Structures are given as structure tokens and as C-alpha cells.
Chain A
Amino acid sequence: MKEAPLSSCERAFILGALAEKRRLDGRQAYDYRELRIGFGVDRGGCHVQIGETRVLAQVSCEVLVPRQTRPNEGMLYINLELSPMACPTFEPGKLSEVGVEVNRALERCVRDSSCIDLESLCIVSGEKVWQIRVDVHVLNHEGNIMDTACIAAITALAHFRRPDVTVCGEDVTIHTAEEKSLVPLTVNHMPLSVTFSFFEQGFV
């Protein structure tokens, strides 16, 4: 569906209010909305709500062959889904421009900042490594998807537990949860994003 364009009187109203240091919901310039984080029954499932914006994140893992350029490291894959339920303009399937931007920013925030130690995900160098997959679903879009998605992804990664593995020579045994307790991921630090908006070329 096409996005309804912002009318000029709405635009003038918002800019005028901002010039008087007033926001539509009464907050001050640096006030945050209420943040709520909930966890699911499965390990690695997390639901974050900032105001009315809701995002669900789920972490899962799989044993795969590592990349040839990095045989000692596991893989971290982040998949952002702008669900059509979040906003009528989001189409199912291919991500829009906005979606690609947020996805790329999420990848930079989580993967490129090395907040998860990828070397600890290696089982047998060059043959078997863990691939950690983070699925981030946006459920309701009331602004600031970037921050909400970031918090959801990091919290889900910190909550997640992967199965324990024992390597005995050539034998690799992946233990079930009943045999050996699940192992957390090595989280070095927790990167968080904060979004700022500039109006009138930075004068407001």
C-alpha cells in the first residue's frame, strides 16, 4: 500500500510546536518512552516494547561449514523482517529501502562491533561451526524501530543458550538439553543505539 503523504498543515504544526520546544505527546527533547522487555518460554526469545513500537527477536543455532576465509570463526546472521502487520506500507517479502537501511545498521551494531565472540562458536576448525541466526520481527511501528530492534537483538543473544558439544578426536557429539545443560554465548559487551532527529538543518 502507498504511504499517505504528510499534509502541509500537519508538517507546519509539528515544526511550529518543535520551535516552541513542544512534542506531540508532551515529552521533552531528550525524554525516552517507556521501555518494556519480556522473555518467551524458549531460550533466546525476547519481546521489546518502546512506547507502542513492538519488536520480537528469536535466536536459533545450527551447525554448518564455516566460511573459507574464516575457518576458525562461527557465523552470526541477522534477519530483520518488517512485518506487514507493523505498518500498512510494509510489503511482505523483499525489504524496502528503509528496511535495508535498518538491517544494515543492525548488522553493523551487533556483528561488526564484535559483541559476540565468534571464535568461541568453533567446533572443528574448517569443518563445523555454529551459525547463530537472529530473526527480528517488527510487530508494531510507532517510530524508532532502530533502537527497539537493537535492544531486542542484543537481549535475545544474551538470553540464548546453545547446546553443549564434546569433541573426542574425530567424534563430535552435540548433547541435548537433557544430557548436558545448555551453554550461554560469550557476550563481550552490549551495544545500544540511540536515535536523534534533526530539524531545520540542526537549528532545532
Chain B
Amino acid sequence: MENIRCQPSSLTRPDGSATFYEGDTTVVAAVYGPTEVKLSKEQIDKATVEVTFKPKQGLPGCAEKAKESMIRSTCESALLCMLHPRTAVNIVLQEMQDSGSLLSCCINAACQALMNAGVSMRFVVAAVSCVLDSEDQIVLFPELKQEQDAKAKMTFVFASNSNNVVLATSSGIISPKLFQKCLITSQEAGTKTFELYRDWLSKQN
């Protein structure tokens, strides 16, 4: 947990931006919004959330699209979209360095960028990555090697107001009992992350 840092307003052009560090893993998030939306994507009762994730090397593929859809659904539940009908909130994420726990770093960066932009949110989110290694030990915020050797990988996203699960994604084989154990451990880490957020915001002001 000590290796989690955030640098808000790292870019000058976007409405809100943040660089989120989880150990060596670094993601830069930029938010433009609420702003003009293409007629085809316009929704008459709420804002359209668009997420673009750009990997550091190569062209975006299926894995990137999957990440985008997970980040979009998380942000749609967190944002007060009904306040801004017929507009778009564009979130662009750039992977600067992937040393494990990339999805959780992306979601946290997106949340920080949305706070920096001042878009109204129902709650803020904290994402926690967790893996089950070969000895059934739970490891939080794994590194690349730990992720590759793991039996099962999970990412949980928690809401700040109720500590409920907003998003849960997993891959690999895991028993329901161990899954619950991982969930509870991640929830505790999520609470610590929210304390970090409050700390950072109070230091800014």
C-alpha cells in the first residue's frame, strides 16, 4: 500500500487528469467532460461515458476493449450522468508502464482524473487487484511475475459510500470460500485506499 501514489493535474489540456502509480505500474488518465457528443451516441436523459484505453506498444486489441468496457461500466455507475443529459464524458487512459495490477491502476487513475475534472459523482471508487498464488496465499497488488504464476486473478472495485462491490472480475480456478476470503481482504485494502484519497485531497487544498 505504501507504493500507491497519485499526481493530479499532470496534463494541461484536458479538463481533468491524473497519473496513478501502483508500484512501477503507471497509468495516465485524462477526462474531457461534460462536452459535445456525436448525434449517434447522444442520450437524451443522461451523459454518454466513453472510455479509450491505449496500450504502450502495439495496436489496441480485444484485451484493451474488454478493459474499456469494464472501466466504462464502473464510471457509469459512479458518475451522476442524469445531471448532464445529451453530453459526453470522454475518459482517455494511457498505459505508461505495466508491472502488474494494470486494471486496478486504470480504474483508480480514471477516478482521480474524474475528481480532478470536477464531474459530479455518486461515490468515488477504489480498485484492488488480488491474486491467489500456488500455495493458496492471497497477494494484493501483484507484480507481473506474481500475476503470471498465479492460480487465480481477481480485481474488485468498491464504492466509497457503502463499501459495496461495484465491479468484480476474475480469471482462473478458485473455490467460493477462498473467493469470499479474497473479497474481504480486498475490501480492507479498499478502505485504506479511500483514506489515502482523503489524505491526498486534503493536502491539495
The residues of A with any CB-CB pair to B shorter than 8 Å are 1-2, 40-42, 45, 47, 52, 54, 56, 58-60, 79, 81, 83-88, 92, 133, 135, 137, 139-142
Contact = CB atoms under 8 A, between A and B. Distances in A.
Contacts, number: 68
Interface residues of B, number: 23
A56 B12 contact: no
Given A1-B35, A42-B97, A139-B11, A83 B92 contact: yes
Contacts of B54: 81, 83, 137
A37 B30 CA distance: 21
A71 to B, nearest CB: 25
Interface string B1-32: 00000000001111001000000100010101
B166 to A, nearest CB: 24
Contacts of A86: 13
Contacts of A84: 30, 32, 52, 90, 92
B94 A41 contact: no
Contacts of A1: 32, 35-36
Given A45-B97, A56-B94, A142 B13 contact: yes
B145 to A, nearest CB: 12
A90 to B, nearest CB: 9
Interface in B66-106: 90, 92, 94, 96-97, 99
Contacts of B59: 79
A75 B36 CA distance: 41
Contacts of B28: 85, 139
A54 B12 CA distance: 10
Contacts of B13: 85-88, 140-142
Given A41-B99, A47-B96, A135 B57 contact: yes
Contacts of B99: 41
Interface string B37-64: 0000000000000001010111100000
B98 to A, nearest CB: 9
